């Protein structure tokens, strides 16, 4: 397997140019009510309004369009609990190539339906990281498709980093940025892009208590792989990647863990005050600010709302 390397700032800038014809420039929203609750000025970067309903389209689109013609002709493959699979299917469609997506049993129905609508071929597997990786390895061997990993992929991380380019252009003088963290593609890409422009910017990542391998890994000084995820935040159940963890450490990303109950409460507040449907995984970033208020008090904080693909027939409250 090719060694995964972190993207450079130049590669993130290249990604921004590459995806510009296909991706949305997402808005930044404010709420006086949420500012009052947090004791800070919050700037919500609404990636739930991105194409496909999540930030994942950025990375998938960059990876698909970075392929040479011969590689693209073989198609692409990945494993995903939903949003990355949907993003890869949509990105593949923009280039007219086939996409294969391995999905774990128990994935959110609305996300699976979106993947199928986008034209990808679905392949089921058991709901474990090992099963996902084994299934996609067999699929690549059988089809010759190119792996576009959800987070351990240089071009995917570069695409996710374009969020920081947009946010810092849209909002001046931010003091901090908060993203959720699962596999770490978003958090690492944003960290690289943000610190290339603003080296002193404080960076935070929100993680569910029931899937806190990134927090444990940073505390222990080595990657922890024995965490069995137990959280409603389906988009954050993946173990943080080795390369992604290195980026979090290098850029001094501080992790705040939140309970499922705190994330659900934040999700409901965002719906109530911003009138936005966001996934519970996405709401962890706002939940972290409410939980660790002293770390954000009186600061200007960018909050990345990562996705809005919610099953409206199975709301968590």
Question: Do 57-147 and 9-55+153-305 fall under one CATH topology?
Answer: yes
pLDDT tens digits, one per residue of 155-197 = 999 999 999 999 999 998 999 999 999 999 999 999 999 999 9
* Crossing angle of helices 154-170 and 185-197, rounded to 10°: 50
pLDDT tens digits, one per residue of 81-95 = 788 999 999 999 999
CA distance 200 to 269: 30
What per-residue confidence (pLDDT) applies to 110?
A: 77
Neighbouring residues of 69: CB distance < 8 A, sequence distance ≥ 6: none
What per-residue confidence (pLDDT) applies to 2?
A: 61
Identify whether the C-beta of residue 99 lies closer than 8 Å to the C-beta of residue 89.
Answer: yes
Classify domain 57-147 at the CATH class level: alpha beta
Identify whether the C-beta of residue 63 lies closer than 8 Å to the C-beta of residue 7.
Answer: no
What per-residue confidence (pLDDT) applies to 226?
A: 92
Can you give the residue ranges of every domain in the chain? 9-55+153-305, 57-147
CATH topology of domain 9-55+153-305: Rossmann fold (3.40.50)
317 residues of the chain, pLDDT tens digit each: 467 899 999 999 999 999 999 999 999 999 999 999 999 999 999 999 999 999 999 999 999 999 999 999 999 999 987 889 999 999 999 999 999 999 988 887 877 888 999 999 999 999 887 898 899 999 999 999 999 998 889 999 999 999 999 999 999 899 999 999 999 999 999 999 999 999 999 999 999 999 999 999 999 999 999 999 999 998 898 899 999 999 999 999 999 999 999 999 999 999 999 999 999 999 999 999 999 999 999 999 999 999 998 888 888 88
pLDDT tens digits, one per residue of 9-44 = 999 999 999 999 999 999 999 999 999 999 999 999
**Regarding beta strands 28-29 and 41-46, do their DSSP bridges make them parallel or antiparallel, or are they unpaired?**
antiparallel
Nearest-CA neighbor of 301 among 160, 204, 208, 236? 204
Burial of 201 (0-12, 13-18, 19+ CB in 10 A): middle
What per-residue confidence (pLDDT) applies to 105?
A: 87
Return the bridge partners of 221, or none.
none
> What pTM, to 2 d.p., does this model score?
0.94
CA distance 225 to 172: 38
**Regarding beta strands 176-180 and 300-305, do their DSSP bridges make them parallel or antiparallel, or are they unpaired?**
parallel
Identify whether the C-beta of residue 174 lies closer than 8 Å to the C-beta of residue 43.
Answer: yes
3-class secondary structure for 120-135?
CEEEEECCCHHHHHHH
């Amino acid at each position: 397997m090719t060694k995964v390397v972190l993207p450079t700032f130049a590669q993130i800038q290249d990604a921004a140019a590459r995806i510009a014809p296909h991706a949305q420039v997402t808005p930044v929203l404010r709420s006086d009510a949420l500012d009052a609750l947090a004791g800070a000025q919050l700037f919500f970067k609404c990636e739930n309004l991105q194409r496909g309903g999540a930030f994942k389209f950025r990375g998938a689109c960059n990876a698909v369009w970075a392929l040479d013609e011969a590689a693209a002709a073989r198609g692409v493959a990945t494993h995903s609990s939903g949003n990355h699979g949907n993003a890869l299917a949509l990105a593949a469609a923009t280039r007219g190539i086939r996409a294969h997506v391995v999905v774990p049993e128990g994935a959110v129905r609305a996300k699976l339906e979106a993947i199928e609508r986008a034209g990808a071929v679905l392949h089921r597997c058991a709901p474990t990281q090992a099963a996902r990786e084994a299934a996609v390895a067999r699929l690549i061997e059988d089809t010759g498709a190119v792996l576009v990993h959800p987070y351990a992929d240089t071009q995917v991380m570069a695409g996710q980093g374009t969020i920081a380019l947009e946010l810092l252009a849209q909002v001046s003088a931010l003091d901090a940025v908060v993203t959720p963290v699962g596999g770490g593609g978003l958090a690492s890409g944003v960290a690289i892009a943000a610190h290339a422009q603003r080296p002193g910017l404080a960076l935070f990542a929100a993680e569910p208590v029931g899937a806190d391998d990134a927090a444990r890994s940073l505390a222990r000084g080595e990657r922890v792989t024995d965490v069995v995820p137990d959280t409603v935040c389906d988009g954050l159940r993946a173990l943080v990647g080795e390369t992604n963890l290195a980026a979090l450490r290098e850029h001094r990303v501080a992790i705040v863990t939140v309970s499922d109950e705190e994330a659900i409460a934040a999700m409901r507040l965002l719906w109530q005050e911003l009138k936005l449907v966001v996934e519970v995984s996405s709401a962890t970033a706002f939940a972290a600010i409410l939980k660790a208020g002293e770390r954000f008090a009186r600061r200007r904080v960018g909050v990345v709302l990562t996705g809005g693909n919610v099953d409206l027939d199975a709301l968590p409250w």
